[in-house]
Amino acid sequence: MEQGKEAIKPLSVKYIADMPYKYHAGYYYSRFLRELRDNKRIVGVKCPKCGKVYVPPRIVCRDCFVKMEDFVPVSDKGTLLAFTVTNFSYVDTTIGEPKKIPFTAAFIKLDGADSNIVHRLEETDEKKIKAGMRLQAVFSDNRTGDYFHDIDHFRIIKDM
Amino acid sequence: MKRRVGIVGVGQTHHRSKNTDCNGQELISIAVKMALENAELTMADIDAIVIGNMDHFESINYVDMWSVDGSGGYMKPIMKVTTGGTTGSAIGHAGFYHAASGLFDTVLVIGWEQNSESDTTAAISTCFDPITEREYSAGAIGPLAAHYIAYMSKYAATEEDAALVSVRDHNNAALYNPYAHLRQTIAVEDVMRSAYISYPIKLLDMCPRTDGACAVIFASEKKARKITERPAWILGVGDCHILVHLADGIGLANLPSLEIAAREAYEMAGITDPFNQIDVAELYIPASTAGVSWMEALGLCEEGGGPRLIRSGVTNMGGKLPINPSGGVLATNPIGATGLLRIGEAALQVMGKAEKKQVEGAKVAVATGFGGCFWSDVTVLSSLPGLD
Amino acid sequence: MEKVGIIGVAQTKYQRYNPASHAESAYEVTSKSLEDAGLTIDDIDNTITVCNDFWDGRTISSMTITEATGSHKSPTTNVEGDGTYGALMGLMRLLSGLHEITLVVAQSKISEGIPSVITNAIFDPIYERMLGLDAINSAALQMRSYMSKYGVTEEQCAKVSVKNHKNAKANPYAHLAMDITVEDVLKSRVLADPIKLLDTSPISDGACAIIMARERTAKRKHGKPIWIKGVGHCADAYHLGDRDLAEVDALASAAKRAYKMAGIRSPLKQVHVAEVYDAFSYMELMWMEGLGLCGRGKAGAMVDSGLTEMGGALPINPSGGVLSAHAVQVAGLARIAETVLQLRGEAGDRQVDGASTALAHGIEGACGQGHCVFILGK
């Protein structure tokens, strides 16, 4: 019998597994998603101790470590803090298909919120985007409370 | 610190983009054998094992159990620690604590990854909240790119500053590190001409996907002194996992987790003047842009001083504080191992065993880890058991 | 080993579908365990989280609960293994002298994913996965091995299920508290012969937290610290074919180490209550043997004798065990939490009177490849 590594031509084995998950949104995200779907409204939650407003809402204030229960609406307008235009594709694990490129990820501070969100910016030419721009949320016509899709994207507010 | 702990051996594989000639277990065993040889020990001398990687890259659940054939862990105490990108440094710290606790004397720590086995960015993207953040966060690359936009907007930093970091790390790997994955000699123009993968990060600004493994052996003081004349003493450790929501980390121009972890590690080690007290640094810089914007968090320069530091050349080989003589993460990135490689490379430096990468007379080194939601780990190592 | 005491514990009620998110459950046990210990989050100087990427359906699963556990406020790491391993990591951080008080939080929501797919991923991708192995049918292989080698019967295994589900009635946290008979177990639906539905643990969502402190701090902060007397962990070979599935050598090795540290020479006499990881009914018998409570192959007879029942000489799983509540990764930490309550005398209707030394056990991997054993004392 042939011996040694030279006698072997390496093989590889393909493994594809469907790993479905049903993520439990939890109480806070459930409220957030319902407000988007039913009231076209973005809500955050306010810390009873320091007054910070967190969007998306969550159970505990990061600084004070107290439970938050006070839901408050925040604006659908905000400021662009940072962005990137992604130009390479990879599998979107939510749908199992490659992502459509290019897409612009926008990191946004909504007016009234003390924490930030990430969403899609319509504009994909980086030369036309600058940190500090003002943005407006554009809601979907068909809102289902599924993921963050009820806001379809953000657009840059052009100066009048 | 009740019990001193030192690193007595380091091993790693020849990192490649695709290791077609060995499976994961075999990859691990190569690094383990080299570390044991490096320390002149056998598997019988190992009291406990800590292993880490990121599950979804190889799609193996309970890797601590799966790896037994490769880690030599049959009938030994084994534990898995994983924290995302910081896994490598987290397992290093876990190994340190295993020995510092007094429960185990000689601890083998293994970090590994077969990145070629999966779609890396897709896997990383699953770390972000599925409902509010996953959709538009392109793995590790998108967030890092956006982070630099915030830094460039606040301070006068440019893409060229980042390119200098890329040139430094790639050329170090080419010149000094036979184990590195990417060994290319490049110039700033090459970086600036490479395509944008996620603006402003270009192809040559970004770390590769690598298959590789690293093994590091930690020992309690008494054992360490018997094993080797010059252990790399662990003087300080700090871990800081500060955020959950990615967007909160991007709004900031700096890296608070690195600042906090560094402060903890420096305090433990007795470092009060990092720029002058540290001889060499192996930093987890996953994108060249980070090599500009994160320097101030380590206390190596003033706020906004990243560009000045990089342009001055002090961080190049031969400079006052060489960073990444091994080529760092930009040259080699088997994610579960990457943070451990930083600790291992820093250890080799202060042990005087870094061969071609050796920074002459290096006595104090710092190693960092980065990952997750802008989390950081910091380790301070020295050939001296104490800085005083 | 320096004395380290557990001064706070908390668990959620285990249930099939807990609408709370990972963070919300983690916050519940974090705040409750702090309350139990009489501390605030600022007293905690390091945190260990226990999360698994596969069960949680995301990479870096510990990221979901970072803020909810306050682990953004102190040095922290994540152990991906059973909760007992997380507790061990927390213990080591304290023994190093670099920290004073550790919080350990484990959580999982098994109802979110598909357990058979997730546990299929435990097995070797090249040689074993395509056989369709998962937690249940691999356990079936082990149960068959064990019964064939030692003549243990399905009835003896069923008795464990009857005992534990009944014990669960006294545990307000338990998921499946029920009055069943051996007949019920034997007639229940076969999942993978010889494993039947009532031999199997449920799919549970849950979380658990414990707080431990170094001796001086533990004594100062809490009236009844429960001391960690000994700990050991060990892993067997990986491929099922490389092991004798009917044997428990890795557990014996882990237990030996823990017993030695705790000064236990005769566990049957010196341990008063034990919480072991009975993911399947037959496992409780095998673990009894690995823990040296009886000789190899003799656990069936010991179960027949009633020794491990409530009121017996060494009650096992007064909480109802993992057969009554199985949030994977959490269940081992829950075993520690339950034994702490026992030793404090706060176990309510499931209290084992006069218990002053307890054993808590967790497993890792397929068919109990890895084991971690804790000995606790007053």
Site from C15, C16, C21, C52 to mutate, A interface, most A CB atoms within 10 angstroms: C21
Q: How many residues in total does chain B contain?
A: 388
Residue A126: CB partners within 8 Å, gap ≥ 6? A83, A85, A104, B196, B199, B200
Residues of C in contact with B81 (CB under 8 A): 77-80, 89
What's the pLDDT score for residue C298?
A: 97
Contact predicate B346/B362, CB 8 Å: no
Instruction: Give per-residue pLDDT as tens, C102-148.
Output: 999 999 999 999 999 999 999 998 889 999 999 999 999 999 999 99
Contact B243 C231 (CB under 8 A): no
Residue B206 to chain A, least CA–CA distance (Å)? 13
Backbone angles phi, psi at C232, to 5 degrees: -155, 150
Tell me whether strands B375-382 and B201-202 are parallel, antiparallel or unpaired. unpaired
Give residue-wise pLDDT tens across range B344-387: 999 999 999 999 999 999 999 999 999 988 999 999 999 999 88
- In C, minimum Cα distance to B4 occurs at C96
Q: Do C60 and B244 touch (CB under 8 A)?
A: no
Chain B residues in contact with C235 (beta carbon < 8 A): 64-65, 68, 73-78
Residue among C67, C119, C126 with most chain A CBs within 10 A, to mutate: C67
Lowest mean pLDDT, pick from A145-149, B84-88, B173-177, C168-172: A145-149
How many Å lie between the alpha carbon of B218 and the closest alpha carbon of chain C?
A: 14
Question: Residues of A at the B interface (Cβ-Cβ below 8 Å)?
Answer: 5, 10, 12, 15, 17, 23, 25, 29, 32-33, 56, 58, 81-88, 90-94, 99, 103, 105-109, 115-120, 126, 130-132, 147-148
The C-alpha atoms of residue B12 and residue B342 are separated, in whole angstroms, by: 11
User: Above pLDDT 70, what percent of chain B?
Assistant: 100
Q: Note whether B134 contacts A: Cβ–Cβ < 8 A.
A: yes
- The residue with greater pLDDT, B20 or C12, is C12
CA pseudo-torsion sign A34, A39, A41, A47 = negative
pLDDT value of position B56: 85
Q: Got the DSSP string for C8-22?
A: EEEEPPPBS---S-H
Q: Across all residues in chain C, what is the average pLDDT? A: 96
C67 with A60: Cβ contact below 8 A: yes
C contact residues 335-374, partner B, Cβ 8 Å cutoff:
364-366, 369-370
- The answer for residues whose C-beta is within 8 angstroms of residue B229's C-beta and 6 or more apart is none
CB contact under 8 A, C117 and A67: no
Q: How far apart are CA B34 and CA B38, in angstroms?
A: 6
Task: Identify all chain C residues contacting B126, using CB atoms and an 8 Å cutoff.
Answer: 57-59
d(CA C173, CA C170): 9
B252 pLDDT tier (thresholds 50, 70, 90): confident
CA–CA min distance A95, chain B (Å): 10
C69 in contact with B, Cβ within 8 Å? no
Q: Please enumerate residues of C whose Cβ is less than 8 A from a Cβ of A.
A: 17-24, 27, 31, 40-41, 54, 57, 67-68, 70, 72-73, 109, 111-114, 117-118, 120-121, 125-126, 129, 205
| CB of B159 closer than 8 Å to CB of A126 | no
ipTM, interface predicted TM-score of the complex: 0.95
pLDDT band at C378 (very low <50, low <70, confident <90, very high): very high
Q: Where do runs of H (alpha helix) occur along B294-334? A: 306-312, 328-331
Secondary-structure percent of chain B, ordered helix, strand, coil, rounded to 5: 45, 20, 40
Q: Which of B141, B145, B251 sits opposite A109 (nearest CB)?
A: B251
Of B256, B374, B254, B264, the residue nearest B306 (C-alpha): B254
Band (pLDDT 50/70/90 cuts) for residue C370 is very high
Mean pLDDT of chain A: 91
Touching B: C residues 1-30, CB under 8 Å: 1-2, 23
Contact C113, A20 (CB under 8 A): yes
Nearest-angstrom CA–CA distance, B315 and C27: 43
Residues of A in contact with B21 (CB under 8 A): 5, 10
3-state secondary structure of C258: helix
Please tell me the distance in Å from A39's CA to the nearest CA on chain B. Answer: 18
Name the residue among C17, C67, C112 with its Cβ closest to that of A62: C67
Q: Which of B120, B130, B147 sits opposite A23 (nearest CB)?
A: B130
Q: Quick one: average pLDDT of B214-224? A: 97
Task: Return mean pLDDT, chain B.
Answer: 94
Burial of B156 (0-12, 13-18, 19+ CB in 10 A): exposed
Tens digits of per-residue pLDDT, B148-200?
A: 999 998 998 999 999 999 999 999 999 999 999 999 999 999 999 999 999 99
DSSP C309: S
Structure tokens at C134: 């998962």
Question: What is the SS3 assignment for A140?
Answer: coil
Closest chain C CA to residue B59: C121
What pLDDT was estimated at residue A160?
46
Query: How far apart, in whole angstroms, are the C-alpha atoms of residue A21 and residue C58?
Result: 10
**C226-269 pLDDT per residue, tens:** 999 999 999 999 999 999 999 999 999 999 999 999 999 999 99
For the stretch A85-122, pLDDT in tens is: 999 888 887 777 888 999 999 999 999 999 999 999 99
Q: Degrees (nearest 5) of the Cα angle C119, C125, C128?
A: 75
Q: Can you say whether the dihedral through the CA atoms of C128, C129, C135, C138 is positive or negative?
A: negative
